[in-house]
Structure 1
Amino acid sequence: MAKSRFEYVRNYEQDLSILPNTYIVIRVDGRGFHKISKEYDFAKPNDRRALDLMNVTAKSIVEQFPETLCAYGQSDEYSFVLKRDCALFERRQAKLVSTFAATFTAQYIFRWPQFFTEPLKGWLLPTFDARTVIYPTIGEIRDYLSWRQADCHINNLYNTSYWTLVLRGGMSEHEAEQTLKGTNSSDKNELLFSQFSINYNCEDEMYRKGTIITAVRERGKRRIKEAHVDVIGDEFWKTCGFP
């Protein structure tokens, strides 16, 4: 290959590799999804179409990259856990981050018409960014997924209470915010039940627990499974078969 006197600029490139023999978590997050949800009229507090779109997009990623052990998603984020011995892109951080963010964005846009009748607008397209975190053992992976599921519960309970006050209680958004200020989980559960006859524990499990996607071997074939279960307790970890 011919060289030029300008080729020296390649020496400025950084090619950081992720520590070997560690689990890699790639968390993909929606960029500016508050505007997306408002412009495309997402239902409050949860839009089933939007969550199903996130899930089918995530499953396509798990299918495409067999190095993925599992994925957990809620709202506009998804975390992909890569195996300890993953050698994808020689574990180069920039390649992993850019590939997962770009692929997730492309699949999300491609699959949008399956769930929404309103076409996307060129001036406001959904996009996703990504980051990587590494963990040494499956114990930290369990705690990481537990953290994200706890976050899902906290956010969904608040959003359910908030939008119920607005949509069914007739409050302004400011009034709902002030009503919930300083309340704990028990207060919000009591508010929903006493004022609106809503038993939060009977709400859709996907809204309360998020979605866990696993890739398992069955009769020699790799199968992708979606579930909405507790990942904080022991039961999931007894049966998941993770190394």
Structure 2
Amino acid sequence: MANSKFEYVKQFEQPDSLLPNTWIVVRLDGRGFTKFSTKYAFEKPNDMRALDLMNAAARSVMSELPDITIAYGVSDEYSFVFHKSCTLFERRASKLVSTIVSTFTAYYIYFWPIYFKDSKPLTPPLPSFDGRAVTYPSVQNLRDYMSWRQVDCHINNLYNTTFWALINKGGMDGTTAELMLKGTFSADKNEILFQKFGINYNNEPEMFKKGSVIFREYEMVEPETTKNGVEKEAEKANTAVPEVKSKSQLEKEKKARTKAKIVVEHLDIIRDEFWERRPWLLSGKPGKVPKEQKP
């Protein structure tokens, strides 16, 4: 490209590269979704259509970007995790975030008439999302982040389930229900649900209680008994010197991830077992394709 007197404006561009050899989490949230959910009459406390729509959009994002290792979603938010060896977009925050947010939003709007076929068509202001990228240096940091989001899911869902039961089934207004729940603990909310409305919170759908986790499905392994499998993967992943892979090796792994089946589950991701049985999530290397998936 020829130089011109206007080229000086490039000096205003600032580097936004993320730290190398760290896990990257791009987390997006719905913008103004309280008003949006009211406009389209989302069911309270959970609308299965809305959650399925979020999962469909997230699954499509993961399908288009094989570098995503795992994703976790609840309500109107989703977190996408990139392995620390990822070099996508030269690990530039702006490109990663804008790609995730724009792709997710596009699929959300695209899938809307499928999951909300009995609802009115989308009209401006259209649904949109914002996002941010955060880096985590260790496996433990990453797992603590994922655990934090799932614990948050449980706390919020238990509160919302009780709050809306008091309104929808108990005839209370929002202010009265809020005052009744102020200062209560989990046991108190469970008691209110069961004693007043005959609702056993344990029987609520797993997606409501645990959120949704999306990953590529490979052959699961049995947890090691001699030494925690997660600890072994953590030792490998936390090495100070990142593994250097050839271009052909990277392409081979990318192709393998592209062919793998992407699943949406509602599992406990806080306990070690989830990670022990799926070591590929921490190693960054594709696992073995399950026999039932092989042609």
- Give the TM-score, by structure 2 length: 0.80
Per-residue deviation at 1:4?
Answer: 2.1
- Once the two structures are TM-superposed, the CA of residue 217 in structure 1 deviates from its matched residue by 4.3
For residue 60 of structure 2, give the secondary structure of its aligned residue in structure 1.
helix
CA contact (8 A) 1:67 1:86 kept: yes
Distance 1:201 1:138 in 2: 30
Which letter maps to 1:161? T
The 2-side partners of 1:113 and 1:175 are apart by 36
Question: In the alignment, what sits opposite 2:208?
Answer: 207
CA distance in 1, matches of 2:261, 2:138: 24
Residues 68 and 215 in structure 1, CA contact (< 8 A), matched pair in contact too: no
SS of corresponding position for 2:260: strand
Q: Which of 216, 226, 232 in structure 1 is aligned with 2:270?
A: 232
Number of equivalent positions: 242
AA aligned opposite 1:141: L
Q: Distance in 2 between matches of 1:95 and 1:14?
A: 13
1:115 aligned residue: 115
Q: How many Å apart are 1:52 and its aligned residue? A: 0.1
Q: Report SS of the residue matched to 2:270.
A: coil
Query: What are the residue-to-residue correspondences of 1:15-54 with 2, within 5 Å?
Result: 15-54=15-54
Give the superposition deviation at 1:67: 0.5
Q: Which runs of 4+ in 1 moved over 6 A?
A: none
Counterpart of 1:63 in structure 2 is 63
CA-atom RMSD in angstroms = 1.2
Q: Distance between the aligned counterparts of 2:120 and 2:23, measured in 1?
A: 38
What SS does the aligned partner of 1:177 have?
helix
Structure 1 residue 121, shift from structure 2 partner: 3.5
Gaps of 5+ in 1: none
Say whether the 8 Å CA contact 1:15–1:94 is kept in structure 2. Answer: no
- Gaps spanning 5+ residues in structure 2: where? 220-255, 284-295
Deviations 1:181-233 (A, max 9, x none): 11111100000001101000110000000001112446x53121111011111
Q: Secondary structure at the match of 1:45?
A: coil
What is the CA distance between 1:15 and its match in structure 2? 2.5
CA distance in 2, matches of 1:121, 1:234: 42
